[in-house]
Chain A
Amino acid sequence: MRVVLAEDNALLRDGLTRILLAHDFTILHSVDNAPDLAVALADPDAEAAVLDVRLPPTLTDEGLRAAIACRSARPGFPVVVLSQWVEHLYARELLADGGGGIGYLLKDRVGDIREFVDAVRRVAGGGTVLDAEVVSAIMARPRARAVDRLSEREREVLGLMAEGRSNAAIAAQLFITPKAVDKHANSIFTKLDLPVAPDDNRRVLAVLAWLEV
């Protein structure tokens, strides 16, 4: 998989490069500023991108804007956005096109290498991965609190689904069987009156749409 990597901190860029190379990714372009990033993202050979939100020249939210601009030119182009902090507002902007293939994660998560690589792979496959911190902010809102129809366990499953985790990952996290997760998921979809989604990716998008992220 050929990825574009944008990170202005040399230490972090090296670390990310090493992690990605060790997991069968190819670094097509490695850039440290927004203008170079725009050029790199225009490369038709790129298959996915891993971007830092804050990049020179203005060190604000160039990475985020580049991701949104890139996806309006190439709908569904998989982008993983990394940041030192996460904003619900930015998650909403990234997800606004409803196309999937979006990852929005704290840089801390890179520390758990297996989890991080797995997230990049899922995003590259059209999945959606949101940081647990964003999801907990979303779950604290009235819309999510209104789901008193759901059991405590179901709310946990809903939160993990919103993070974009697969059934197997949810099962492992909650120490229950994948079958039990499936049962909870079906019950959630019935109670929230959501159409049954054909695959994992659609399911995440449906949940996020319902939560009004």
Chain B
Amino acid sequence: MAQRPSPLRLTGYALAQVALAVPTMLAATLVAAGGATALLVVGIPILLLGLPLLRWIADRHRAMAAEILAHPVPADRLPDDDLPLLRRLGTWGRDPMTWRELAWAFLSASVGLAVALVVVALMVCVVTLVLWWFATPQLMRLRAVVDARLLSRGSHELLEERVQVLTETRAETVEDSAAELRRIERDLHDGAQARLVALQMNLGLARDLMDTDPVAARDLLAEASTTTGAALGDIRDVVRGIHPPVLADRGLVGAVQALALDLAVPVTVTGDLSDRPSAPVETAAYFAVLECLANVTKHADAEHAWVELARRDDLLVVVVGDDGRGGADPAGGTGLRGVARRLAALDGSVRVSSPTGGPTLVTLEVPCESSSPRTTPSSGTG
């Protein structure tokens, strides 16, 4: 556990909270007033002023609460990057976190302010220094717990969301694996199995002809040999589609290197994963890279492509890039959507950046400890 801030430092926080009380009230008032008049257009600029201020102040309090409680207090806002200003405003309005921040602002500027003032007062009145020393951590902790509770979603909400995600991805995973089994069954049925039937017929015919027409029998045996080769080829293809042997031998980096060797576009593979991710993560990442590189050779018109593999803490990060013409639409092709679905089952994600003219960068992220559920730790004692 990280070291707790000293009473002196906590009093610094209290001072900051006192100083932020008036801006908090101001921001909350602006947001309330702007919100009420937003339909009359006049509210929009007020909101554009008030909301960022409120968010900034809330973030400062989140940081302080995180420091005091020694665990993260995430904002969990809806993503609003790269959106035009008005759409961003719409996102903010739909974001439940905005409403929580507004409610928090009123509490913070009243009860919260009182707590912070008590802490500061205890230190300033020199006679209460002993009391200050012992009470400050308790008081500030109380305030931090309340702040964290209001400014971050509770464990119950997180669990509900998690269950939702798991239900969706589980349904997709079951569907995908059923489809995969059907495909394998079909491949074996149309490929190796059919060839083995032909092989058996050839061998039976050859046995019957052995005495009467040895020349024809020999031809049939030669044909049987060719058929055997083709059947083995089919089985190899099926095996590669399930789990490429080189992936078992060499891990993800080696397998991607082997993959890159046979592509029409030169591919540079860099990375070191000395600590191998679990087999399901490796397999999913391998097939994701395979799909991305297939897209590069098919659509990108690229001179050169690269794959970077790295492990950042408990996250496997793979970047597949090319210097092609860009303009790849992640929603357009079924390939990338399939990749996203397969990775989602492991709590992984796919991001695509592909401006017209290139370069295209596909970033794949998969948590490595996929067997343990990934929920943000709930606020410990709160």
Residues on A facing B (Cβ under 8 Å): 54, 60-61, 84-85, 87-90, 92, 106, 108, 111-112, 137, 140-142, 145
Q: Which residue of A lies closest to B260 (CB)?
A: A89
Chain B residues within 8 Å of A, Cβ to Cβ: 225, 228-229, 232-233, 236, 239-240, 245-246, 248-250, 254, 257-258, 261-266
Q: A111 to B233: give the CA distance in the assembly, Å.
A: 14
Whether the pair A89, B257 counts as a contact (CB closer than 8 A) is yes
Q: In the assembly, what is the distance between CA of A188 and CA of B167, in Å?
A: 61
Given contacts A85-B236, A87-B246, A141-B262, 7 further A-B contacts (CB under 8 A): A54-B245, A60-B249, A87-B258, A88-B258, A106-B232, A108-B232, A140-B264
State the CA gap A164–B250 with chains docked (Å): 27
A85 touches B266 (CB 8 A): no
Whether B261 pairs with A142 at a CB distance below 8 angstroms is no
Contacting pair B265 A142 (CB below 8 A): yes
Set of chain B residues within 8 Å of A89, measured between Cβ atoms: 246, 250, 254, 257-258, 261
Q: In the complex, A205→B250 CA distance in Å?
A: 26
A173 CB, nearest partner CB in chain B, Å: 15
Q: How far is the CB of A204 from chain B (nearest CB, A)?
A: 19
Establish whether residues A111 and B228, one from each chain, have CB atoms under 8 Å apart when the complex forms: yes
Closest residue on chain A to residue B222 by CB atoms:
A112
Q: Are the CB atoms of A111 and B248 closer together than 8 Å?
A: no
CA distance A142 to B14 in the complex (A): 67
Known pairs A61-B249, A108-B229, A112-B225; A85 contacts B239 (CB<8 A): yes
Centre residue among A54, A84, A85, A92 by max chain B CB count within 10 A = A85
- Chain B residue numbers with a CB within 8 Å of A145 are 264
Q: Which residue, A54, A87, A111, A137, has most C-beta atoms of chain B within 10 A?
A: A87
In the complex, what distance in Å separates the CA atom of A89 from the CA atom of B254?
A: 9
> CB-CB < 8 A to A112: which residues of B?
225
A111 cross-chain contacts in B, Cβ below 8 A? 225, 228-229
The B interface, classified by DSSP as helix, strand, loop or mixed, is helix
CB-based nearest B residue for A107? B232
- In the complex with contacts A84-B236, A85-B236, A92-B225 CB distance below 8 A: no
Distance in Å: Cβ of A133 to nearest Cβ of chain B: 8
Evaluate contact between A61 and B225: CB separation under 8 angstroms: no
Pick the contact of A137: B233, B245, B246, B262 (CB < 8 A): B262
Which residues in A have their C-beta under 8 angstroms from that of B240? 85
- In the assembled complex, the Cα of A87 lies from the Cα of B229 at a distance in Å of 17
Q: List 23 A-B contacts (CB under 8 A).
A: A84-B245, A85-B236, A85-B245, A87-B246, A87-B258, A88-B261, A88-B262, A89-B250, A89-B254, A89-B257, A89-B258, A90-B246, A90-B258, A92-B261, A106-B232, A108-B228, A108-B229, A108-B233, A111-B229, A141-B262, A141-B263, A142-B264, A142-B265
Chain B's closest residue to A213 (CB) is B261
Closest to B245 in A: A85
A-side contacts of B229, CB under 8 Å: 108, 111
Nearest-CB distance from B251 to chain A (Å)? 10
In the assembly, what is the distance between CA of A140 and CA of B261, in Å? Answer: 11
A87 CA to B258 CA, complexed, in Å: 7
CA distance A54 to B225 in the complex (A): 24
A140 to B297, CA, bound (A): 13
- Nearest-neighbour CB distance to chain B for A172, whole angstroms, equals 15
In the complex, which residue of chain A has the Cβ closest to the Cβ of B262?
A137
B253 to chain A, nearest CB (A): 11
Complex contact B262–A140 (CB within 8 A): yes
CB of A34, distance to nearest CB on chain B (Å): 13
Q: Which 5 A-B pairs have the closest CB atoms?
A: A89-B258, A60-B249, A61-B249, A88-B261, A137-B262
Closest beta carbon of chain B to A123's beta carbon, Å:
21
Q: Which residues of A contact B266 (CB under 8 A)?
A: 142
Residues of chain A lying within 8 A (CB to CB) of residue B264 = 140-142, 145
- The residue in A89, A108, A145 that gathers the most chain B C-beta atoms within 10 A of its C-beta is A89
- A2 CB, min distance to chain B CBs, angstroms: 29
With a cutoff of 8 Å between Cβ atoms, the chain A residues found around residue B233 in the complex are 108
Bound: A54/B261 CA distance, A:
21
Whole-angstrom distance between the Cβ of B266 and the nearest chain A Cβ: 7
Chain B residues whose CB sits within 8 angstroms of the CB of A137 once the complex forms: 261-262
Chain A residues with Cβ below 8 Å from B245 are: 54, 84-85, 87
Interchain CA distance A111-B254 in the complex, whole Å: 30
Contact of B262 with A60 in the complex, beta carbons under 8 Å: no
CB distance from A93 to the nearest CB of B (A): 10
Nearest chain B residue, comparing its CB with the CB of A59: B248
Name the A residues within 8 Å of B262 (CB-CB).
Answer: 88, 137, 140-141
Contacts of A54 in B (CB 8 A): 245
Shortest C-beta distance, B222 to chain A (Å), equals 10
CA distance A29 to B182 in the complex (A): 45
User: In the complex, which residues of chain B have a beta carbon less than 8 angstroms from the beta carbon of A60?
Assistant: 248-250
**Which chain A residues border B257 with CB–CB below 8 Å?**
89
